[in-house]
Structure 1
């Protein structure tokens, strides 16, 4: 992930000063443990200033509105209590070449600031700290006690101290090429490392783009650079410093991320705030997606493994209970042929009532024939009771296995992150597992019941009919039991975990074989049988699809179905 470096910070602060000062603070919302959103209103617009102290993505820019969920964090509540209705009047760095921004709040523009909100963008040491006019700390996103840092503790009611200054040289437009070159080439090594090591405000992304824009390999040793190389590189260096001095930036997308200087740009960005918001949102979503996908896959896999072992145990107990009638038959035989028993016998062979075949019966030699028969009757009763007890338990476990296999198939279908809807689909699965008490999460905040999602997979059949496909059990239920109407057709792989698929039809519309086959192919593709050549798919009208009483999300039974063979390899993923 690209670092939010000094150059980017300078460009963002310049844009905020031009577009958002002065502005009134209306609301503060904390999105997660690392990010707050501050609602700002100017005479022309309203927006959300996103401030993050994330260890890999600390940043400051205008972002998206926060979700409509309950904010349970105390830091945001403390901020809105102190800063509510005040005006943001100043956004400036605390010192040249420092990645610490001072946001100043006053009653109105032109008055002395009452509060300072310091945003420290320093990797894993990033923080956001609120002080009063005298720089006494009121609250901080992350408090640091003496045990964690004796050099710079951050505690409430203590004076705010700026981070220790960097010792590297300060870049300057007035520095000559000779002095600059001497400093950078003092120790022969890769030019990339020398630029990073010798000057403040220089980041890996900046150096990489600067060198590539000069056609110099970043790993080139300083000893091998020609005078022409040095001259071109120094010109780029000066260009960078001039852009900072004049606050003239050219935001653009690059193959690796973004630039605010235009170097290596493949697609210009009109708005630097939108550029940064999109980049960091996507990067963090991708990170969250990968972690969540792994977490859910592992959890469901472990649950299924335990349930299958439990089912196997129950099946073994049922198999044992199949001997119940055998014990009763042996007891009956023993009671019928009491005269054949002799004291001390360890076994006896008697003719079967129906077939006449010999039945060998094991006996306890110290017991009488009647006592042995009573023991066999007791075994018969015991195994009968076991069957009565185990059968519903096995049914319950098998229902759980069926449900979790459906969840497992849904997770497997969400293979990669491409848009925010992919992450949302995974989060809905996570929420479902929490609601079903398969997962625990202390930070879980339930989605509003009024909030609905519509990030189904969408396709069009050859004749233009719409096809909707659920991406998780919540969407499957929504699709089947809330969206489907009597004219639609409902598809699902036969006895194979997979998505619910809905072919939308208007009254009087009749799909032809191509439409049905197209939809069946999709149903097969979005199932556990994706790798098969042919997959049995059932389809019926939604009115013939039911949810059993007490069934878990995504579970449905159906009737009046017809079967069509789906061919998943014909699907072009949408």
Structure 2
């Protein structure tokens, strides 16, 4: 899996664009509910004439934002911050949404009724790692805040509960103005020998990295003094278009180009705006990017735990192998003991030494019976962990990572499985639930089941298998079990090929052009006694040569089986 891409920060342009939509559809609205789903987000439920709408305010350093969102799940309404807002905003209505100048600071004003004085303000500072959220009283004092800013964190602006709210320090640079002429604008950008991007960022307020890329595009890294007259004119025209969009509030959401998204575009702005289009679009963007980042963090954590467990099993296997390698030495000990006792008159010390050697030789010979199964157990665990690492690297969503987590109690010692409570839950899954393998339809209409963890592998290969079902697995390679439900119809050659391709695709050999895949009737599978779930042996079998890339066609639009949900 590719690493999660960087997240484009919300700048002044996108902040103004979402506020325009909010003012049209949200003012005034009555406060109803506050909840805090995690440490960096607050969600507010507000009732307007159009119904209940939800805002999300986030001070996460990588993606601070203010957006209208779809109704969220109920979670985090018992947090201290949510309870303080619930108490402080009870009975009030949101009557204003203000952003001053070119600062990324928004003040949500709450009053008993529209037209009455502001009784509470909720101030969100969308400023990267300095982002924060403040609830202020009518005198501008901090009632509560998301993060206490102590003296050791900020010498310029320490602020905490009970302090008077102080806005952030003024931004460097000049405020952009439509009234400024071309000569003044060009002169300001050319003051220092730097790149076009650096000049835009340093000369004017409200220009962030994303806007600089959108304005300068291919010239971003060129020295300012290298721009030709025609390039200066094109940059000037883009600058003017951006300023006109900001002044006339003709915002529209566009995707791609030099940045992930943009909220000013001449072609898009000319269309009739769809209500909440920018808010909903950006909410989806941040959900997607943050979701990918969370997946990568979970994947990295699981990978570390599995690799640590694999290293432990290798050490244990090496120890057992060393003990097994010492067993042939028992014969030499036996011969030495025989030699000591074969002398005409052995001394007492020689007799004691001979008895010690006999005991040690017998112990080594007896240890074979104990060492061999231990060694096999460590090797089986290593193979299972290796397969879990394959499942992990190929997981594409949270449900598939959760499937890998379900196997941990059977693979890791208790101290690594988060205690007995979570271990039992992961082993059994939700109460009364069956495993949920990936299920597809072959070209011939037969069901194809793909296990995405050891529990699912065992379920489809042993517990749910029926006479006529066929089992597929990449030969001598960690990966998923695939079962073609031949019990539901006669498989065609194309059905067999598709099943083999799936087994190759969901194996460690995915990157190879061709992969040998073993096909066995499920009736010929046997569970290995004492081994972990999903560990089977089989008799015979047919080897098919599969092409992993061909499975992409089958996976592109997986048909849903009636009455089931696709994982």
TM-score normalised by structure 1 residue count: 0.78
In structure 1, the residue matched to 2:550 is 571
Distance 1:68 1:453 in 2: 26
Spell out the pairing of 1:74-473 with structure 2 (5 A cutoff).
74-83=80-89, 86-93=92-99, 95-212=100-217, 217-223=219-225, 225=227, 229-255=231-257, 256-262=259-265, 271-321=277-327, 340-343=342-345, 367-368=349-350, 370-383=351-364, 386-387=367-368, 390-391=371-372, 393-414=374-395, 421-426=396-401, 428-430=403-405, 433=408, 436=412, 449=430, 459-473=440-454
User: Alpha-carbon deviations, 1:209-237, whole Å to 9, x = none?
Assistant: 2234xxx7334544455555545443433
The alpha carbon displacement at 1:99 in A equals 0.5
Aligned residues of 2:451 and 2:460 also touching (Cα < 8 A)? yes
Q: How far apart in 2 are the matches of 1:330 and 1:290?
A: 60
CA contact (8 A) 1:324 1:384 kept: yes
Task: Give the TM-score normalised by structure 2.
Answer: 0.79
SS for the counterpart of 1:150 is: coil
SS at match of 1:306: helix
Distance 2:284 2:495 in 1: 37
Q: 1:22 aligns with which of 18, 25, 28?
A: 28
SS of the equivalent of 1:367 reads: helix
User: Are the structure 2 counterparts of residues 504 and 158 from structure 1 closer, same or farther at C-alpha, using a change threshold of 3 Å?
Assistant: farther
1:55 aligns with 2:61: yes
C-alpha displacement of 1:259:
0.9
On the 8 A contact 1:534/1:567 being kept in 2, the answer is yes
Residue 493 of structure 2: which of 482, 505, 513 is its match? 513
Assess, with a 3 A threshold, how the Cα gap between structure 1 residues 139 and 537 changes in structure 2: closer, same or farther: farther
Output the CA distance in 2 between the equivalents of 1:495 and 1:114. 70
C-alpha change, 1:413 and 1:223, in structure 2 (3 Å) is closer
Q: What CA RMSD, in Å, does the superposition of the two structures yield over aligned residues?
A: 4.1
Cα drift, residue 311 of structure 1? 0.3
Deviation at 1:116, TM superposition (A): 1.9
Whole-Å separation in 1 of the counterparts to 2:537 and 2:398: 31
Whether the 8 Å contact between 2:504 and 2:546 is mirrored in structure 1 is: yes
Displacement of 1:519 after TM fit?
Answer: 0.3
User: How big is each residue's C-alpha offset from its partner over 1:260-310, in whole Å with a ceiling of 9 and x where there is no partner?
Assistant: 1126979x9951123212322333334344444444434433432331121
Partner deviation per Cα, 1:432-487 (whole Å, 9 max, x = no partner) = 54895575889x99999379899965654332434342334465467668887777
Distance 1:434 1:102 in 2: 49
Q: 2 CA distance for matches of 1:487 and 1:109?
A: 72
CA deviation map 1:16-71 (0-9, x unaligned)? 12123333444444343323333344332444422222222211112355567677
Specify the alignment match of 1:497 in structure 2.
Answer: 478
- Aligned twin of 2:506: 526
CA contact 2:514–2:547 (8 Å) conserved in 1? yes
Pick closer, same or farther for the CA change 1:475–1:240 going to 2, 3 Å: farther
Three-state SS of the structure 1 residue aligned to 2:507 is coil
Instruction: Go from structure 1 to structure 2 and tell me whether the alpha carbon gap of 1:24 and 1:382 turns closer, same or farther (over 3 Å shift).
Output: farther
Please give the alpha-carbon distance, in whole angstroms, between the structure 2 residues aligned to 1:320 and 1:328. 14
Deviation at 1:502?
Answer: 3.5
Give, in whole Å, the separation in 1 of the partners of 2:493 and 2:376.
Answer: 38
CA drift at 1:183: 2.5
Contact 1:136 1:159 in 2 (8 A): yes
Could you list the per-position Cα deviations for residues 169-189 of structure 1 after superposition, in whole angstroms to 9, with x for gaps in the alignment? Answer: 111223333433332333354
Q: Which runs of 5+ in 2 are unaligned?
A: 1-6, 556-567
User: Aligned-pair distance for 1:152?
Assistant: 0.9
Task: Identify which of 533, 536, 556 aligns with 1:557.
Answer: 536
> Which structure has the greater CA radius of gyration?
1
Q: Partners of 2:96 and 2:21 in 1: how far apart? A: 12
Find the aligned partners of 1:560 and 1:47 in 2 and give their Cα distance: 61
Counterpart in the other structure of 1:362: none
> Could you tell me how far 1:72 is from its partner in structure 2?
7.9
Measure, in 2, the Cα distance between the counterparts of 1:43 and 1:453.
44
Number of the residue aligned with 1:34: 40
* CA distance 1:432–1:244, shift in 2 (3 Å): farther
Deviations 1:515-553 (A, max 9, x none): 12320221123112443744242444499776967x65x
Give the superposition deviation at 1:314: 0.8
Q: Which runs of 5+ in 1 are unaligned?
A: 345-364, 415-420
Q: Distance in 1 between matches of 2:163 and 2:21?
A: 32
Which residue is equivalent to 2:558? none
The answer to which of 240-249 and 2-11 deviates more is 240-249
Question: Deviation of residue 407 (structure 1)?
Answer: 0.8
Kindly tell me: are residues 509 and 11 of structure 1, through their superposed partners in 2, closer, same or farther at Cα, counting changes over 3 Å? same
Q: Secondary structure at the match of 2:326?
A: helix
